[in-house]
Amino acid sequence: MYLAEPATLPEIKCGVGVSSRYFKKAVDRNRIKRLLREAYRLQQAALKQTALQTQSRVSLFLLFTGKELPDYETVYKQTGHLLQKLANRINEMAP
């Protein structure tokens, strides 16, 4: 889920979440959140560049919906794909 709007100062806010329905142990939920945050941190440059170019304020929330513990490579690849799609959509919306 995301929200992009024109702004005078470009800004990006990101949140992460994991459902306790499939991951009962807090340790598992926290591990997935750490993986999501790290994958986002390493790949946020393209999204920041897009926000600067289009003068947009972006708020997004990454929600893990899988039922099994993921490995880092999977999370990294999926997050990168998602951020690229989001950057493309923001470029399309720019005037």
Q: What is the DSSP string of 9-70?
A: S-EEEEEEEE-TTT--SHHHHHHHHHHHHHHHHHH-HHHHHHHHHHTEEEEEEEEE--SSPP
Average pLDDT over residues 54-81: 94
Q: What is the pTM of this model?
A: 0.86
Structure tokens at 53: 């170019």
Tokens of 49: 């560049």
Residue-level pLDDT at 94: 74
The per-residue pLDDT of the chain, averaged, comes to: 91
- Decide if 31 contacts 70 (C-beta within 8 A): no
Domain boundaries, the chain: 2-93
pLDDT digits (tens, 9 = 90+) for 37-66: 999 999 999 999 998 898 888 999 999 999
Contact 16, 61 (CB under 8 A): yes
| pLDDT at residue 2, as a whole number | 66
- The reported pLDDT for the residue numbered 56 is 87
